[in-house]
Amino acid sequence: MQKNELLYEGKAKRLFTTDDPNLLITEFKDDLTAFNAEKKGSESGKGALNCKISTELFALLEAQGLKTHLVKTLDDTHQLVRKVDIIMIEVVVRNVATGSLSKRLGIKDGTVLPFTLVEFYLKDDDLDDPIINNEHCLILNLVDDVKKLDILREKGRKINDILKAFFAARRLNLVDFKVEFGIDENGEILLSDEISPDSCRFWDMDTNEKLDKDRFRQDLGNVKMAYEEVLKRILEEK
């Protein structure tokens, strides 16, 4: 499958058309951004690591019955994916308070939440991706039925249940993560975009070392080494 026209370029990926109108090619970039792209950088090999990590995690989720847009991985930085209409809602799933949640609500950083928290954010860089509720989603026509929001929450929690146990077996704490969904030509809601250290927070269970994009956000260094460690643990046989 050959990539044709550049359809979209985001912070971390490019999306290309193919000869099949229902299939696209995603290219993972080495670019790093934080704070709504106010901070920018690049890490050689980061795109290939995220492509491999996302491939492995999507395959894990598919094996557990959660459908994704991924068809196959083409090479180190390219995936063939189903074309979907992205739902403009970022679904954020939290197990531990940190980042924006701690700042908004004053919950001490590192506090384990009493239950899994699922939040919705509007996918709009110009508005700094504000947090939204069910009524906002309907007013903005992000979904045509509130029941679809229940489906997004359910899928977010299912992903969390699978990945949290998977990473716990590898001594990684899944602190929180962001996922996106899209609707395919058959009207089915599919997990889309990626799951990687760009979109998740991973803390080592023994040392609390951060092994995700917070290393870039907080100028901790060794970004690539952290991503490589996450991939190494994913590939461990348990």
H/E stretch holding 147: helix 146-168
192 occurs within a structural domain = yes
Average pLDDT over all residues of the chain = 96
Q: What is the mean pLDDT of residues 123-137?
A: 96
Domain shared by 182 and 93, yes or no = yes
Give the pLDDT confidence score for residue 36 in this predicted structure. Answer: 80
The pLDDT of residue 224 is above 60: yes
For the cut 60, the answer to whether the pLDDT of residue 238 exceeds it is no
Whether residues 118 and 209 fall in one domain: yes
Side-chain-side CA neighbours of residue 219 (13 Å):
1
Distance CA 62, CA 69 (A): 10
Residues 71 and 162 in one domain: no
pLDDT in tens, 49-70: 999 999 999 999 999 999 999 9
Could you read off the pLDDT of 163-215 as tens digits, one per residue?
Answer: 999 999 999 999 999 999 999 999 999 999 999 999 999 999 999 999 999 99
Q: Residue 236 is which amino acid?
A: E
- Reading the block at residue 44, the tokens are 């050689």
pLDDT of residue 1: 79
- Please report which confidence band the pLDDT of residue 235 belongs to, taking 50, 70 and 90 as the band edges: very high
Q: Is residue 233 part of a domain?
A: no
Quick one: 57 and 140 in the same domain? Answer: no
Whole-angstrom CA distances from 27 to 10, 43, 51, 80 are 10, 15, 8, 9
* In a domain? residue 237: no
Cβ count near 226 (within 10 Å)? 23
pLDDT at residue 2 tops 90: no
Per-residue confidence (pLDDT) for residue 37, from 0 to 100: 78
pTM (predicted TM-score): 0.96
Please check whether residues 156 and 181 belong to one and the same domain: yes
* pLDDT of the residue at 136: 98
Q: Which long-range contacts (CB under 8 A, 24 or more apart) does 177-180 make?
A: 177/92, 177/93, 177/201, 178/90, 178/91, 178/92, 178/93, 178/121, 179/90, 179/91, 179/93, 179/155, 180/86, 180/87, 180/89, 180/90, 180/91, 180/123
What phi and psi values does residue 149 have, to the nearest 5 degrees? -70, -35
